[in-house]
Amino acid sequence: MPTVHNVPDGAADMLPGAIPINPPALFFRTSQPEQFQQLFQDHFYVACEDGCTIREFLCEQMHVCGDYTQRRIQTVFLNGHPVDDIDTAQITAGDTVALSSAMPGLMGAMMRSNSPFKQMRDTITLQQKATQQDSPGRQCLVRMRLFNFLAKELAGLFTDNGFYIETDVFQHFLTRQEPVLEGVLLDGAPMALPWATPPKAPMIFVKRTETPVAPER
Amino acid sequence: MDKIIRIDVGAEGGPKITTTPVGEYAGLGGRAMTSCVVSKEVPADCHPLGPENKLVIAPGLMSGSAAVISGRLSIGCKSPLTGTIKEANAGGQAAQYLARLGYAAIIIEGQRKSDDLYKVVITKDAVTIEADNSLKMLPNYDLCDKLKPVYGDKVAIISIGTAGEMLMSNSSIAVTDPEFRPTRHAGRGGVGAVMGSKGIKCIVVNPEGTSLRKPVNEEQFKAANKAFLEGLKRHAVTGQGLPAYGTNVLTNILNEAGGYPTYNFREGRYKHHADISGEAQAQLEEKRGGAGAATHGCHRGCCIQCSGTYYDKDGNYLTKQPEYETVWAHGGNCGINDLDVIAKLDYLDDNYGFDTIEMGTTIGVLMEAGVIPFGDAEGAIKLVEEAGKGTPLGRIVGAGTATAARCYGLEHAPVVKGQSIPAYDPRAVKGVGVTYATTTQGADHTAGYAVATNILGVGGKLDPLTPVGQAELSRNLQIATAALDATGFCLFVAFAILDQGDTFNAMVDTINGMYGLSMDGNDVVELGKKILTWERDFNIAAGFTKAHDRLPKYFSREPLAPHGVVFDVPAEELDKVMEF
């Protein structure tokens, strides 16, 4: 997990964008990370460098780069605002970033980055954000949403990177989707899912590993 | 397609059928045919359910040929819901069969002389009409079950459910799909009531003994059609997104943009959107399995296959895959986040013959009025059943959103010219609000679609870096859409022809090869303008003015969360849309 600034465990909901310290960590193996796509379309959280651009976040921190970004990520939202330029749109702590492939309909065309029809949604288009980070460059928490093909295609990458999620949301996901996960470890101890007694912490850290051994935290 | 069937339901001695040459309407198809006939033959000031109104059913120009995805059927009349001219279109098998039989249109006219209900049968050899009162008040699925043993399942049925028979302003005309299910509907504007007012329950179209229409220039047609198909397959939306997720994939996008109307257009986001998204729907359909589960075409020859088949948890057929607008209307707009309930409502709408958008927004209004609470799934099902059976409350439900709001004293009626606003809030995406306000059809998201305006160059090429006025954009879209609606091609080809110039050219060349023409983009634009002019002139004669080209005032007064935006396009700009 990334280095974090000091926020008490469980206080993430009080300070948007703060990474919780030492949350319960769940590690597992699976050859089907796309099982997480329903969770990823709803939301999850990842660590991000405060004040970076969306392209920097995607490419340098999440390793989603180049042709894939250009070809596949056709629609980008920052806090619900369609983004036309991922090189100028900056992410700050607590922001929500949503990504989608090309979508149908006039709306789908209109929402695309730099659409010929972008004027039709100019009321909600992201304007240059006045960024006032407390500590530019520090690690913060960003809320992510991955829609349609991207949820499937990037599921492996984001589960390998690891992500944060509210414990009750993850519990709901486990109950509803029943993902097949192997070698599950919670804070290093083997366990079966869905768990009978979920951790009490409001957020957990979730990560796919190659081996059932928990990586160093 | 060189013949027209005219059915005079008021003729002496009973309904009379005449088959005439296409004559002055030669070269027209789909929306061009319906709007031309209505504008020329229907007095604009008539009552929509009166004897002067006519119902025009027309396959697209390319229907019945080997052209891919060309099976759209247009149905036109003066609308009981809006009072304007109306063109509603549907997929299904009927357009292909009618075109193969050589018919460019069916025109139903006159005043019924009795309470008898009639069935029309069209074959290669004859067109007949007979009274069949055993069909009275049969919902669409029951009707198909009754007709199947008589005519088999290789015919197409064009029919009305109980809503159309009861002349409800929200009533659709159903068209059977390749599985002989009445799942495809010309939904908007109450066209079913006009068919009901003429006393016609159904039209059986039997293509036996016919074959595909031959192109004039076979070589050109084949090559262009192949290139058109290749372009549709190549594009990310038509080749991948729509087949995998269907139109409901828009739920997450609109919700994220804050333009997903929720709780009768009170909010722009629905907290349970992920439960009813296209992604969730596709996963559920795949998990339950069954023939055509997540990917299915609404008519043979469709290469996009944006539809699907919705089975219940026990594997029983429930309905076709509900569209985005249906999932929104019955889902987020009513606070219902259960896909099985939404599918059930979709089935009921199809069975009784209601437009799903109009029905969902009507229920949303009734929820705001306190008739049932938001999120009441059982209550919503009961309301549709009441409407389908014609109870006193059901009559209000079936009369549409505007009427229901008036009955309960609500300002919050999300309608333009009496027709409900679809699944995109015009405050968040004001460009579509311009189209809702100004289209000749009443609020209609398909009236101004993303149809290659940058390729067509309607009103000048669009430069993405140069701001263009909302009016100009909407006008361009409406012109191009009107032209596409005449061809019989599904609107969804728009995505591929928007992005790929060669695919647009291939589409135009397919038409040229079929008819031996040499049309270019300019001709397509002129056709679109001509159609809109017929429609606009009809509406003006019917009493509509610029004052009707407006959204309800509350969209300009009440901000929409989360962005806190209102619809602020000036009236002067709206008035420019139809200036061409």
Domain of B362: which CATH number? 1.10.569.10
Say yes or no for a CB contact (<8 Å) between A38 and B279.
yes
The CATH number covering residue B14 comes to: 3.60.9.10
* Position A130 pLDDT exceeds 70: no
Token pair listed for B474? 């909407």
Please give the Cα distance from B522 to B517 (Å, whole number).
13
Shared domain check, B445 and B400: no
Q: Do A119 and B467 touch (CB under 8 A)?
A: yes
Yes or no, beta carbons of A120 and B429 under 8 Å apart: yes
Task: Supply B120's token pair.
Answer: 């029309």
Among the three residues B205, B222, B246, which one is the final residue of a domain in this structure? B205
Pair B437, B406 in one domain:
no
Query: If contacts are CB pairs under 8 Å, which of residues 83-142 in chain A contact chain B?
Result: 98, 100-111, 114-124
Q: Select from B242, B469, B563 the Cβ nearest to the Cβ of A104.
A: B242
- What's the confidence (pLDDT) of residue A82? 95
Distance set, CA B245 to CA B238, B277, B304, B505 (Å): 11, 9, 11, 28
The beta-carbon neighbor of B237 closest among A41, A104, A151 is A104
Residue in chain A lying closest to B257 (CA):
A80
| Residue B284 sits in the same domain as residue B355 | yes
Q: Is residue B218 part of a domain?
A: no
Query: Residue B457 domain-assigned?
Result: yes
The residues, any chain, with a CB within 8 Å of residue B523's CB and separated by 6 or more, are none
3-state secondary structure of B3: strand
Chain-centroid distance, C-alpha A162:
9
Contact check, Cβ <8 Å, A103/B280: no
Residue B220 inside a domain? The answer is no
d(CA B303, CA B464): 30
**Chain B residues with CB inside 8 Å of A102's CB?**
236-237, 241, 495
The pLDDT score that the predictor gives to residue B463 is: 43
The residue-averaged pLDDT of A190-201 equals 85
> Are A105 and B428 in contact (CB < 8 Å)?
no
Domain, as residue range, for B131 = 3-205
Per the structure, the count of domains in chain B is 3
Nearest-5° Cα angle at B249, B247 to B253: 120
* B296 and B176 within one domain: no
- Most A CBs within 10 A among B249, B287, B424, hence the mutation to make, goes to B249
Q: Can you give the pLDDT at residue A131?
A: 57
**Where does the pLDDT of residue A204 fall: very low under 50, low under 70, confident under 90, or very high at 90 and above?**
very high
Q: Which residues of A touch B280 (CB under 8 A)?
A: 38, 41
DSSP-assigned beta bridge partners for residue B8: B16, B109
Closest residue on chain A to B433 (Cα)? A120
The half-sphere exposure of A201 on its side-chain side, counting CA atoms within 13 A, is: 19
> Domain for residue B157, yes or no?
yes
Nearest CA in chain A to B470: A120
- Give the CATH number, domain containing residue B524: 1.10.599.10
Pair (B73, B12) in one structural domain: yes
Q: Are residues B21 and B69 in the same domain?
A: yes
Q: Is B463 domain-assigned? A: yes
pLDDT at residue B360, as a whole number: 98
Over residues B231-250, mean pLDDT: 88
Choose the weakest-confidence range: A35-49, A137-151, B253-267, B469-483.
Answer: B469-483
Q: Are residue B152 and residue B124 in the same domain, yes or no? A: yes
Cβ contacts (< 8 Å) between B426 and chain A: which residues? none
Q: How confident is the model over A160-169, as a mean pLDDT?
A: 95
pLDDT value of position B476: 84
Last residue of a domain, one of B363, B385, B420: B420
Boundary residue ending a domain (B205, B220, B243): B205
Residues in chain A: 217
Q: Which residue on chain A is closest to B478 by alpha carbon?
A: A106
Per-range mean pLDDT, top range of A196-200, A206-210, B18-22: B18-22
Query: Which of A120, A150, A176, A178 to mutate to test binding with chain B, by most B CBs within 10 Å of its CB?
Result: A120
Q: Which residues are paired to B5 by β-bridges? A: B19, B106
Residues 169 through 208 of chain A touching chain B, CB cutoff 8 Å: none
Asked if residue B49 and residue B169 are part of one domain, the reply reads: yes
> What residues of chain B lie within 8 A of the CB of A37, using their CB?
279, 283
Find the residue in A nearest to B270 (Cα). A42
Beta carbons within 8 Å of A197's beta carbon, 6+ residues apart: none
Same domain? For B57 and B80 the reply is: yes
Tell me whether residue B455 is in a domain.
yes
pLDDT at B464 over 60: no
**From the CA of B395, how many Å to the nearest CA of chain A?**
33
Contact (CB, 8 A) for B326 and B320? no
What pLDDT score was predicted for residue B504? 87
Q: Could you tell me if residue B236 is inside a domain?
A: no
Residues B354 and B469 in one domain: no
Question: Distance from B260 to chain A by nearest Cα, in Å?
Answer: 11
The predicted structure's pLDDT at residue B332: 98
- Residue B192 · residue B160 · CB < 8 Å: yes
Task: Give the pLDDT mean for B298-310.
Answer: 86
Report which of A97, A86, A98, A82 is spatially closest to residue A48, judged by C-alpha positions. A97
B250, A123: Cβ pair inside 8 Å? no
Reply yes or no: is the peptide bond before residue B422 cis, omega within 30 of 0: no
- Pair of tokens at residue B89: 């279109």
> Is residue B496 located within the same domain as residue B546?
yes
Which has the higher per-residue pLDDT, B33 or B240?
B33
Give the pLDDT confidence score for residue A136 in this predicted structure. Answer: 65
Exposure string of B15-54, with b = 16+ CB inside 10 Å and e = fewer, is bebeeeebeebeebbbbbbbbbbbbeebebeeebbeebbb
Q: Is residue B134 part of a domain?
A: yes
Would you call A74 an interface residue with chain B, using a CB distance cutoff of 8 Å?
yes
B412 and B378, same domain (yes or no):
yes
User: How many CB pairs below 8 Å do chains A and B form together?
Assistant: 147
Among partner residues B277, B428, B434, which is closest to A123 by beta-carbon distance? B428
- B90: closest CA among B288, B356, B418, B318? B356
How far is the C-alpha of B264 from the C-alpha of B290, rounded, in Å? 34
**How does residue B302 score in pLDDT terms, banded at 50, 70 and 90?**
confident
- Mean pLDDT calculated for residue range B477-503: 86
Tell me how close the Cα of A155 comes to any Cα of chain B, in angstroms.
Answer: 14
Q: B20: alpha, beta or left, given left = phi > 0 and alpha = psi -120 to 50?
A: beta
Range 27-66 of A in CB contact (< 8 A) with B: 37-38, 41-42
Which of B28-42, B235-249, B416-430, B447-461 shows the lowest mean pLDDT across its residues?
Answer: B447-461
Q: What is the ipTM of this complex?
A: 0.85
Shortest Cα–Cα distance, A179 to chain B (Å): 13
Contacts of residue B107, defined as CB under 8 A and 6 or more positions apart, other chains included, come to B4, B5, B6, B7, B37, B41, B54, B55, B56, B57
- Number of CB atoms found within 10 A of residue A9's CB: 13
Give the helix/strand (H/E) hosting A184.
strand A182-186
